[in-house]
Every structure is written in C-alpha cells, then in structure tokens.
Amino acid sequence: MILGTDQFRSIYVVGDIHGCCRGLEGLVEYLQPTSSDLFITLGDYIDRGEDSRGVIDLLLELSKTTNWIGIRGNHEQMMLNVLGGLMKPKPWLDYGGKETLRSYGATNANNFLPAKHLDFLNSLEDFVETEDFFLTHASYDPALPFEQQPPQLLRWQHLHDEIPQPHHSGKTVIVGHTPSRNGEVLDLGHLVCLDTYCHGGGWLSVMELRSRAVWQFSQWGKRRNSNGFLVS
C-alpha cells in the first residue's frame, strides 16, 4: 500500500536515535511538528544511549500531536525476541541492551517493559512506501517488490557490506542502521542513510523529504549549523 502524502505540510524522517532522548527533544522543539505534518522514525530507538525509556515516552507523546509512523529496527527486534523467549538475553545485552535496562531501572531482562511500551514495539512497521520514497531501517533488494523484501535485509543488512543499486521502481530509498561515524548524511541520490552516530558523538539527523533539507542535533539536544558549530 502506498501512503498518500499530499495532505501533509512537511514530511520529516529521523535517523537512528539509540537512547539519545535529549537529542530528540531538541529536534522536536526546533521543528515543532503538528497534525499537519508526517513524522517518520527509521528505527533503533533503544540501546547504547542513556535514555531509551525516555525516547519511547517522547515518541508516544508525539504520536498524539502529529502523524507519526515508526519503523522497527534490529535493536527493537532483538528486544522483542528476548521478551518473547526467542533468544537469550546476553547477545542483546552486549549489543546495547544493558543501557536500555538501566534506563528502566531494571536489573534483568524479564518482564521489565511497561505494557504501553510493549504495545509501541509491536506497532512498528517494516517499511513505509510513499509516491516517491521507500523508507525502511537497513537496506533492500533492488529487484524485489517492496512487499516481498526479506526481513533480514530490511532490519540487518549494513551498507558497509553492500550498497544496493537503485530500486527498479525508481523510488528513492531512505534508511538508517549503517552509522556514518563522521556525522555526515550519506546521500547517493537513489539511497540516503540518516544514521549519523548520535550516541557515539555524532548527530541525530532529520530530513524533510520534499526539500531534502537536513537538520542535525547533538545527543545533548544542541543544533548543528551549516559550519558545524552548535547553536542554541
């Protein structure tokens, strides 16, 4: 199903947040999204940063005031797999889950998640398709229709391993997942990656799809200007 977007004033897309709640707060405060806007987040809300719980709480509040759509990342998938008994906790905990547990004040991975946060995780989408764009967490197969994309590609495939060719539909693909440790958005024309390593000292990036304008915020919520300096 293609999501029509003509009714929206702006279409904002946010890269990997990874527990950087203050960065997300700064982004939301600056953009002031409303019910006239579409606000899409590309996944990996949790792990590694210091306040995963706060990120989910903020997105739940945002969903009440704007048209928010959340995509599921591999980190949300891991946590759901642990909670559902499909994998042992240790791989997730070693991959950033310890920081998530700490944000919930929990000491183990058993039944620590509030019901509304579990509902949040279960509500996340594999992808969003619009008239001109395909948005997912990680990557895609350029030869397959969007609805036939393997979950492994959508959630786990790194662009470091392979840069896919343009999709046969001609639509531009927007992803996160593969961190640009230099803090710069990777824009290949047919493919844009918005993971700019916020939790590791980079930036939390947001793009307005129609204009391709990009704003970036530090993990502490300060905006980066065109010269690379932080501004209030």
Report yes or no: 42 and 194 within 8 Å, Cβ to Cβ. Answer: yes
Please, how many CA atoms are within 13 Å of residue 156, restricted to the half-sphere of its CB?
A: 5
**Torsion sign across C-alpha atoms 219, 34, 73, 86:** positive
**Other CB atoms within 10 Å distance of the CB of residue 152:** 11
Going along the chain from its start, the domains and CATH numbers come out as 11-161+179-231 (3.60.21.10)
Going from the C-alpha of 73 to that of each of 37, 57, 78, 80, 225, the distances in angstroms are 23, 17, 9, 11, 28
- Per-residue pLDDT 10s for the chain (232 aa) are 799 999 999 999 999 999 999 999 999 999 999 999 999 999 999 999 999 999 999 999 999 999 999 999 999 999 999 999 999 999 999 999 999 999 999 999 988 999 999 999 999 999 999 999 999 999 999 999 999 999 999 999 999 999 999 999 999 999 999 999 999 999 999 999 999 999 999 999 999 999 999 999 999 999 998 767 677 6
Max Cα distance, the chain (Å): 48
Tokens 């903020």, residue located: 58
Q: Which alpha helices (H) appear in the chain, and where do they start and end? A: 21-31, 52-65, 74-83, 89-92, 98-103, 115-123, 151-155
Q: In whole angstroms, what is the distance from residue 18 CA to residue 29 CA?
A: 19
